[in-house]
Amino acid sequence: MQDFTTYYESLNKPSWTPSTSLIGTMWTILYPIIFVVLFAVIGKAIRKDISWWVALPFVANILFNFTFTPVQFGLRNQLLALIVIIGIWVTIIWAMFVSWNTIRWAMYAYVPYLLWVSVAGVLQATIWWLNR
């Protein structure tokens, strides 16, 4: 079985595809932000400072996020991986929207995440199209 990198490199990708090292660096920066926000939101929900409905998109987001790698590299299903990225993107927007009045700093913390997932979504759509 090919490893993740070998499989990813074998796919047809657009010329503007970020290097695997840049992709890794971006996630190394973003995951601590995502987890700090997630744990802060869950903590506020546990303390009843916010409703669990406010926490829901943050939890849904991390579930979608953790689903991407097994779908992309385990199932090797590019269309399903695109659908998962759309789920990630939607839950980021949803989380930003619900946090506006309750945890505004979380909304601002998610801006780089939203930007990177937007790029990743366009990249995934292009990869799916080129490899269909």
pLDDT band for position 2 (cuts 50, 70, 90): low
Is there a domain that residue 8 lies in? no
Is there a domain that residue 118 lies in? yes
Q: Is the per-residue pLDDT at 1 higher than 60?
A: no
What is the C-alpha separation between 90 and 33, in angstroms, rounded? 18
Is there a domain that residue 46 lies in? yes
Q: Give the residue ranges of DSSP H helices in the chain.
A: 4-10, 20-46, 52-69, 78-99, 104-109, 111-130
Count the domains in the chain: 1
The model's pTM is 0.93
Is there a domain that residue 64 lies in? yes
Is there a domain that residue 2 lies in? no
Mean pLDDT of 19-27: 94
Is there a domain that residue 39 lies in? yes
Q: Which domain holds residue 94?
A: 19-130
